[in-house]
Structure formats: C-alpha cells, structure tokens
Amino acid sequence: MSLSQHNAIGKNLQDVREKIAAAAQRCERPLEEITLLAVSKTKPASDVEKAIEAGQLAFGENYVQEGVEKIAHFAGHQPALTWHFIGPLQSNKSRLVAENFDWCHTVDRLKIAQRLNEQRPAGLAPLNVLIQVNISDEASKSGIALSDIDALAEQISQMPNLVLRGLMAIPAVETDYQRQLAVFTQMREAFDALRQRYPQADTLSMGMTDDMPAAIAAGSTMVRIGTAIFGARDYA
Ligand SMILES: *Cc1c(COP(=O)(O)O)cnc(C)c1O
C-alpha cells in the first residue's frame, strides 16, 4: 500500500515539503535553511502519530494544556520530537510552557520572558525563544512594535535560561502575494539587524498555509503549517 492510501497526513506532508522546495528554488535559497513546523493544534495525538510516521519531528501547539498533553503522550519518543509553543501566552500559564516545551515563539513582553527564565527547570537546556512582532495586524494584541525589538532582545540576552533565537510574526490576512512579500520583507530586515548583535539568532518564524511562498521568498527559516498538513480545524 502506498503512503497516500494509508496515511493522508503523510501525503499532505510530502506535498508541503515539495511546495517548500519549489519556493526555495525559485528564490535560490538552500532548502536546509527552512524548517517545517507541523501545527497540530486541535488535532488528536493519532494525527501527530501519522505525521511522525511520515518523518515529521517538529510540532507547534497553540493551547498550553493541549500541548502539554501531547508532549506527555509522546514522551521519550526516539528520535526526539521538538515542541514549539506558538499561541498567545498568559503569565499564569508560563510555567507549563517553561517546563514542557523546547521553544516559545510568542514572547512579547518582559514579564513573560522573566517568568519563563525563572521557571525553566535547571535540568533542561535553555528554552529557545522568539520575539513576536506585531508587523501588520493592528487588531491583534499580540506582538511588539518593530521599534521595541532592541530593548526586549537586550533584556532576554541577559537571561541564562533563555536563548534568543530570533523573531516571529503572524501578519494580518492578505491574499495578494506582493503585499504579503512587502510585510514579510520588513520582518526580514528586522531579523538581519537582530542577527548583527546576536549571532545565535538564526530563526525567522513566519509563513502559514496561505502565505508560505511569500514568507520563504522574504527569508523565513521556519514555516508553521497546520491546515495543509492536518486539514481544516474544527473549533465546534
Ligand atoms: C494555527 C497557526 C498556524 C497554522 O496555520 P495554518 O493556516 O493552518 O497553516 C501557524 N501559526 C500560528 C501562530 C497559528 O496559530
């Protein structure tokens, strides 16, 4: 039986990988620069299992409790999985993120960074963090202004239990490719500036199912893909 017959998620993953490769080739970027994060929010562990069978090891979750349950479900898995927290983070949930996840993409204020730093268990590697930037979505309360990146980066860089790995953005929904590209390019410029000061900052997390090619063209190093891999989400 072919992969597609017994594992639609595996087939979807293959398609997404091909789209990433095509987008990278169009802008002459090495494919190794781009990590695919499979966003499994609202999807059962059995779907994650299918993605793992198809070779996917990096997963993104938006809801703390749901993510922690999946992390526990797959604890000890070999090869190791990496779990990325990509949802809005309230301070009363920071401990669960610090104790369970490998990455947090949504650090957008000092208080959250301080809590994650204090709550990261000593036995674990430092938590990889990204600063979330509010690049275009004025309606969103998440993310800081471009002009505030420097100050927060400086503070995070002093925290021993966090590693500043880069920037993340969720732009406002936009269907026009050129306009998607323009917004992502602003992020790329901010990322280049950040990297001048923090050489360990190697990650620019941007691009979802509907804007992935533009994100890659602008320089994304990590695309966060849910729908194209796992299908539409049911929030009912
Ligand atoms: C849900 C979500 C994604 C995945 O979005 P799709 O459009 O399903 O690919 C990526 N990033 C964040 C922050 C999300 O909340």
The CATH number of the domain holding residue 19 is 3.20.20.10
Check: CB of residue 201 under 8 Å from CB of residue 166: yes
pLDDT band at 198 (very low <50, low <70, confident <90, very high): very high
Rounded-to-integer distance, Cα 62 and Cα 74, Å: 17
Q: Give the ligand 1 atom nearest the CA of 227.
A: 8
Answer whether residue 171 shows pLDDT above 60. Answer: yes
Domain count, the chain: 1
Mean pLDDT of the chain: 96
Q: Best substitution site from 19, 20, 36, 39 to test ligand 1's pocket, by max atoms within 8 Å of Cβ?
A: 39
Does 230 reside within a domain? no
Does 233 reside within a domain? no
Task: Give the distance (Å) from ligand 1 centre to CA of residue 62.
Answer: 9
Q: Best substitution site from 9, 19, 64, 86 to test ligand 1's pocket, by max atoms within 8 Å of Cβ?
A: 86
Does 232 reside within a domain? no
Name which residue sits closest to atom 10 of ligand 1, judged by CA. 224
Does 231 reside within a domain? no
Task: Give the distance (Å) from ligand 1 centre to CA of residue 88.
Answer: 12
CB atoms within 10 A of CB 203: 20
Task: Identify the pLDDT of residue 140.
Answer: 84
pLDDT band at 4 (very low <50, low <70, confident <90, very high): very low
Check: CB of residue 215 under 8 Å from CB of residue 184: yes
Task: Give the distance (Å) from ligand 1 centre to CA of residue 153.
Answer: 24
pLDDT, mean of residues 60-72: 98
Task: Identify the pLDDT of residue 137.
Answer: 77
pLDDT, mean of residues 172-188: 97
Does 228 reside within a domain? no
Rounded-to-integer distance, Cα 226 and Cα 179, Å: 22
Bond into 79 cis (ω within 30): yes
Does 235 reside within a domain? no
- Record the pTM: 0.96
Does 48 reside within a domain? yes
Task: Give the residue numbers spanning the domain of 53.
Answer: 3-223
pLDDT band at 235 (very low <50, low <70, confident <90, very high): confident
Q: Give the ligand 1 atom nearest the CA of 41.
A: 1
Does 234 reside within a domain? no
Task: Give the distance (Å) from ligand 1 centre to CA of residue 85.
Answer: 11
Rounded-to-integer distance, Cα 144 and Cα 60, Å: 21
Q: Where do runs of H (alpha helix) occur along the chain?
A: 3-6, 8-26, 45-53, 64-73, 94-100, 110-119, 149-157, 177-197, 212-218, 227-230
